[in-house]
Structure formats: C-alpha cells, structure tokens
Structure 1
Amino acid sequence: MSVSPPLPLLKRVPSGLWTALVWCTAAVAPVVEYVIMPPRAGYSLSYPRDGLAPLGARLLLLLAFGLVLAGCALLRRRTTVAYALVVAGTVVSTLAWRQDEIPPTQFLGVSVALGHVAAVRPRRTSLALAGGTLAVLACYPVLRWVSGPDSGTAPEPLVALTLAVAWLVGHSVHQARAHTEELYARAAAQAVTAERLRIAREMHDTVAHSIGIIALQAGAAARIVDTRPDAAKEAMRTVERTGRETLSGLRRLLGALRQADQDRDPDQERERERDRARQPGPGGSALRPAAGLADLERLAATTTAAGVRVEVRWRGTPRPLPAEVDLAAFRIVQEAVTNVVRHSGAGSCRVSVEHRQDELAVEVRDRGSGGAAGTETGYGLAGMRERAALLGGDFRAGPCPGGGFLVTARLPLPADTHTETETRATAG
C-alpha cells in the first residue's frame, strides 16, 4: 500500500485561513503599535492615536473584522460572495480609521483572496472581480482630489500591482490544474482503450482457436457418424471438452472484469466461486490460471486430434518467464496455429520455441497455400502484432519463398530474468 507524501504547508492550510491571518495581522499591528503601546517619538498619519477614540470607529472596526472573517469562512464554498465580503471589510476598516486611502499592507489580505479566486474560478469571473476591486481603489484618489490637494505619494499603484501579481499567480495555478486534469483524463481514456484492446485480444485468441477445433471435429463427426461411430463419438467428446475449456476461459475474463465492482462483498464473492467450482458440467469448471507455454503440448495434441498435426520443437535452456511474456508467446502460437487450421489447408505445421539469452523467439511454419492467411482481413494478425509491440518485441508474418506461411515473434526478456537464471545455475 503506497503512502502519498504530505502536502506542503502552503497547500495544507486553506486559502481562507491564509487570508484571515494576513488581513488580521495587518489590522491588529497598527492598533498595538499606535494605540496600545506607550507613545513614541514617531507617529503615523494613517493610524492616529485618537483614530479609534470614538465609539463609532470601534464599532466600524469590529464590523470590518466580522465581514472579513465571514468572507474567509465562505471563501471555499461561495468564492464570489466571500471575496466581496473581504473587500467590503477592508473598505470599512479605512472608514474606522477615517482614512482616505487603503494601506498596502492592509490590502495584502485582499490580494491573497483574489489569488484563490483566480485559482478556482473561471478567468472571466476572476477578471470581473479584479476589475471591481480596481474600481474600488480608483475611488480613493477621486475622494482625495475632491476633499483637497494631496501632496503625499498615492499608494494605489502599488496596491494595484499586488492585485495583478496575485491574479497572475492564481491564474497560473488554475491553468496548471486544468492541464493536470486533462492529462489525467487522457491517461484514463488511454487506459480504458488499452484494456478494451487487451480484452478483445483475449476474447479473440481464446475463442477463435476453440471454434476452429469445434468446427473441424463436428464436421468430421458428421461425415463418419454412419461408418465409424466410435470415432464420431470421440470427435464429439473433443467438441465437448473444447467447448468447456472455452467457457472456462470466457469465465476467467468475465471474472477479471467484475473484480472492479466494489459494491460486492469479497467473502460472498469467494463463496459463490467455490459453489460454482463444485458444480458439475460446463458451468462448473474451476477457473484455471492464465495460459502459457506450459499449455503448448496440450494445444498441439488438441489440434493434432482435429486433423492438423502440430510438431513442437524446444530450443535453448528453458527458464521461468515473466507472466506477460509467457502469455503473449502462447497466444501468438495459438493464433498462428488457428490460422493454419482455418486458412492454410495444410495437414501439418511446425512450432519452434527458442529460449535465447535476452529474448524468447517463437516460430510457426506450415506448408499450405499461405495466401489466405496472408490476406486475412480479421483481427488475428493485428492482435499478434499488438502483443509483440506491447512488450517491445518484433513480429513478422508472411508467405515463405518456397511455399507455406511463416509467423515469427521475438519477445525481449527483462535483465533480471537472465540474472536470476544464472544465479540458480551457479547455485546448482
């Protein structure tokens, strides 16, 4: 079970809490410095000592705190209303101090809130709120111009610059999130497509070979049922056995698909599987492990019994293979043999499996017509090519110069597989 790394502090603390900390710090600092602390030689025009002397000023300052804290509490759920409350509280705080400007430090809380808005809301909404805030800022120079000449330095450009920077930062976060979500959605779609292709390959490889064997055996039984009834019965038994194996393979695929169902109780599901395994007949065969090269002899025997002799040759030193390589190699051989049975018209074929140092090579050759298999418009050759490509291997199929059809596949083996084999050989 993987454990996700903890988020940075900036991401663990909600944006509303950051806004409240910044705004309240900026609002409490002048009260402590210029009102509560003893008088000093220096003084502030923006925060005069008697600025909060009237009761109305104190009530306005309390109202400002209430508006801002309410906005910070609602910032995650109702972003637009919450941001408006933060801006309104900041304006009310200037009224409490009877200021004709907004101090840049006091406006940092609004900038933090705007960055959050730009990060979570569409660009049109965040731009509209930023424009409204700039309009509020523009009212202060107009107020100073109406009340009389102003010889000081206007803080509004600096405040507007902090707003712009906050919006740009928030908008970049919004774009990064949108891009990440797009990548996740694209990866999910690719995973679904890959899984569908995998299931399609398994369905094709599992069913196509069995249907070919069933068709051959059923046709042979129909032709000899009057003259050789014992042989016809054996052919029908092969049809029955092949059909049950096909049903078992289909049941494995359906079981794998249903594993994603989280609503079912695992204990009940295991009990159902045990009950089905105990039942006789085609529906009660127990689920077997995934196919591999260990089933190659059984495949050859079944195909030979159907009328097409399959000769299997092993080369190299056999060693344990990764499950995906083992399955892919078997499915490629199975599909190639199925094409021999269905299209080549040959009476036999040869299967070669060679364990090389860093790869597994399989080859299926027949002496049939070869044309039908080479011009097949179905999914057999495409599925074999996909299996080899997914493992980084090479696949080739085509008519042989001397007649017949040849299918070859080279599947690379991981380096640790070769190292493990050498270690076992040395230890032995």
Structure 2
Amino acid sequence: MSELIRGRRAWLEAHPVTADAFMAVLLTVAYLAAVVLQGGNGAPGPDVFSVVLSGVALMSLTARRRMPVGVLAFVMAVCGTLTVMGYDVSAPAVAMLIAIYTVAAHRGMATSLPVGALTLMLFIGLLIAAGADFWPAVSNTVLFVGVWWLGRSLRLRRAYLNELEARARRLERAREADARAARTEERSRIARELHDVVAHHVSVMTVQAGAARRILERDPDAVRDALSTIEQMGRTALGEMRRLVGVLRTEAEPVRGELSPQPGVNDVGELVDHLRETGLQVQLWIEGESRNLSPGVDLAAFRLIQEALTNTLKHAGPQARAWVRIHYADRQLMVEVEDDGRGLAAGLGQNGSRGHGLVGMRERVALYGGDLRIGPRSGGGFEVRARFPLEV
C-alpha cells in the first residue's frame, strides 16, 4: 500500500499541472456542494453570477505554479469585485490564500515579498470594506501572513534539500574521479614494476641466448649452463609478473600461487651475480653500516640499480664494465651505478628524459624526496646517482 501511495505521489510531482487541476476541481466541487446544501436548508444562497465567478477563481488555481503572480492577481480581482457587490467571498478567499502560498513557495524573495506586502494591504482594505470586526480582521491578517511565511519556509527547506542533493552528487562525482585517478596511478605503478622486472630478465635471457647460439657447436656444456640461466630467469620473470598483475584481480579471482617478498638492497648481490653470468663485468661496493630501510626506499633503491644495470647490459656494449656503489650515511642512502660503455647516446638526451625505465627511476626517487642525476660519466660511459633521505 505504501508503495502505491509513493508511486502516485511521485507521478503527481512529475505532473504538477495535473495535480493542480485535480485540486482545483475538488475545491470547486466542494464549493458547489456547499452552495446546494445551503439552498436546501432554506437559507438564501448566492446567485448564478457569484457562483460562476467564485468557481472560475477556484479553477484558476490550475495554473498557480506556472503563473503564480498572475493567478494571485486574478483571484484578488475576483475577491474585490464580489466584496464591492456585497457577495460572499469565502471561496475566492480560500483561492487567495492558496495563491499567496504559491507565490511565496515558488518565487524568490525579490518577487514574493513585494507581492505579498501589496496583497496584504489590498486584503486589509477588503476586510475594512466588508465591515469586518476588529478581532476577526486581525485573525484573518495573521492567517494571511502565516500562509505566506509557510510558503517561504517550505521554499527555503526545498532549496536546502536540493543543495544537499547537489552536494551529494558532487561528492559522488569527486569520489569517482578520485577512484579513477587512484586506478590510473596504480596502473602506472604496475607498468613501471613490470617494465623494471621484465626488461631486466628478458635482457639477461636475450644475452644468454645469443651467447649460447654462438658457442652451440664449440662448447655444449656452456650452452647447457646458459639455457639453465635462461630457464631460471624466465621462471623468475613469470613469478614477478603473476605477483604484480595479481593486484588487478578481484576478490572473486584470487591470485594463485605464493607471493614472494619484494626485493631490496640486500638482494643486489644476487642481482650482480646473475648479470656476471651474462658476461657483464660488475663490481659491487657497500659502504657504511647497513641499516633497516623502509620497504618503499628498499624496493626503490633495488629497482633503480636493476634498471641502471639493465640499461648497461643493453646499451653499453660487449666489453663494458659496471660499478655499483651503495653508501649508508646517517641521514641518507647514496646509490651510484656507472659504466664505461657507449652510453645511451642513440636513444637518450642529455637530460635523460627518454625511456619508461628512466621515467620510472625519477618517479621512484621523487616519491621519497630524493635527488637523482642521470647522464654521461666523466671519462666516458654513463652514470646514475641517487640520494634517498632516511629517517633517523
């Protein structure tokens, strides 16, 4: 039953003219029924002129929300005409109260206040012209002002509710925009992680496959070792890809397999050993007292070294050498990766602005408030220098 009532109410709110016409018809029928009953009791009833004019005043309420000021003016004119001619104005007075309520409820203060004040003065004048006593005149005046105030209060309340709904819609859109931005940022982070992991492992696999092809006939044992390294790197790359892409899965699609911990600075030695197996000459120095790093800085430093050595492997040339230096200071962590190869002159500008890997380096270091320098090395080659501030 309540659903039926709410449905009909929503339909009437969507069709205001129909709702107003229905109300006007009900008021007119009630007025005509009162006239008939009054005549049936033997009391003198109004004549046809006053009945028709009062009925037209009530039916004019059909357009009260489309033309509230015009309807109010028409009803006041009917009230004035019937008052001057000595007829009863009960029905037009009801129409007038509804019309003044409509003006206050559907028009702004700039319109409703002067129209209401002017109508109030005319109303008081009609009361005086009709010879109303003092207290009935006061009560009717209070009723008039109360109806206007009720319409104004409901307008303010409706505006307040509309503002709340608009604010809720804006907040919902803002939350959706924040969610989209967060998803975009997460996808960018995953893309950088995938680039760092896959590019490194695929580069090692490519170098090993090329070396195996060249010595296939001469040294089968070395080929077997190279293929083992390729297999190991492939499995590692697949595991990293499953772990990273797994964050995009929903709860209904759980990640299968175990999640390995994120690599850190302590894993740089193993990384260097893998690269040495490809033929790249890499030396590693760790200076200062080792300390526990935050997970973010630990991962960022490892990925930076991994990307820098991968670039050395791909671009420095077959006879290049690389040096990795990790220095623990009291308030900062210094990471340096240098090589004496050809550098990235063919694909990198002086400021090191090209390449997704280099962009990822800059974003990782900037995320933790550090400094990064990427560029040619004095004496030839290329260097990457990064500083990560550490909490004391």
The normalised TM-score by structure 2 is 0.65
Give 2:186's match in structure 1, choosing from 179, 189, 195: 195
What is the CA distance between 1:150 and its match in structure 2?
3.6
In 2: Cα distance, 1:306 partner to 1:79 partner:
79
What is the CA distance between 1:147 and its match in structure 2?
4.7
Q: Given the alignment of the two structures, is residue 378 of structure 1 paired with residue 355 of structure 2, yes or no?
A: yes
| Contact 1:344–1:373 (CA under 8 A) maintained in structure 2 | no
> For 1:143-162, what aligned pairs fall within 5 Å after superposition?
144-145=79-80, 147-148=82-83, 149-151=126-128, 153=141, 154-155=144-145, 157-162=148-153
Write the letter of the residue equivalent to 1:211. Answer: V
Q: Which runs of 5+ in 1 are unaligned?
A: 1-65, 99-128, 274-285, 419-428
In 2: Cα distance, 1:142 partner to 1:350 partner:
99
What is the CA distance between 1:78 and its match in structure 2?
6.5
Q: Given the alignment of the two structures, is residue 367 of structure 1 paired with residue 340 of structure 2, yes or no?
A: yes
> For 1:23-34, what aligned pairs fall within 5 Å after superposition?
none
Q: In angstroms, what is the RMSD of aligned CA positions? A: 3.8
Write the letter of the residue equivalent to 1:363. Answer: E
Q: Given the alignment of the two structures, is residue 179 of structure 1 paired with residue 156 of structure 2, yes or no?
A: no
In 1: Cα distance, 2:296 partner to 2:310 partner:
21
| Contact 1:308–1:349 (CA under 8 A) maintained in structure 2 | yes
What is the CA distance between 1:222 and its match in structure 2?
1.1
Q: 1:134 to 1:240 in 2, by over 3 A?
A: same
> For 1:48-197, what aligned pairs fall within 5 Å after superposition?
80=13, 131=65, 134=68, 138=72, 141=76, 144-145=79-80, 147-148=82-83, 149-151=126-128, 153=141, 154-155=144-145, 157-197=148-188
What is the CA distance between 1:384 and its match in structure 2?
1.1
Q: Given the alignment of the two structures, is residue 391 of structure 1 paired with residue 368 of structure 2, yes or no?
A: yes
Q: Which runs of 5+ in 2 are unaligned?
A: 32-62, 84-125, 129-139
In 2: Cα distance, 1:238 partner to 1:394 partner:
35
| Contact 1:361–1:411 (CA under 8 A) maintained in structure 2 | yes
Write the letter of the residue equivalent to 1:388. Answer: V
| Contact 2:341–2:380 (CA under 8 A) maintained in structure 1 | yes
In 1: Cα distance, 2:215 partner to 2:269 partner:
27
Write the letter of the residue equivalent to 1:241. Answer: Q
Give 1:402's match in structure 2, choosing from 376, 379, 382: 379
Write the letter of the residue equivalent to 2:276. Answer: T
Q: 1:70 to 1:220 in 2, by over 3 A?
A: closer
What is the CA distance between 1:406 and its match in structure 2?
1.2
Give 2:242's match in structure 1, choosing from 251, 258, 268: 251
Spell out, residue by residue over 1:72-103, the C-alpha distance to the aligned partner (whole angstroms, 9 max, x if none).
Answer: 956997692599999999999999x99xxxxx
The normalised TM-score by structure 1 is 0.60
What fraction of aligned residue pairs are identical, expressed as a percent? 34
| Contact 2:348–2:355 (CA under 8 A) maintained in structure 1 | no
Corresponding position of 2:302: 330
| Contact 2:323–2:337 (CA under 8 A) maintained in structure 1 | yes
Corresponding position of 1:354: 327
What is the CA distance between 1:158 and its match in structure 2?
3.1
| Contact 2:283–2:323 (CA under 8 A) maintained in structure 1 | yes
Partner SS for 1:329: helix
Count of residues in correspondence between the two structures? 299
What is the CA distance between 1:255 and its match in structure 2?
2.5
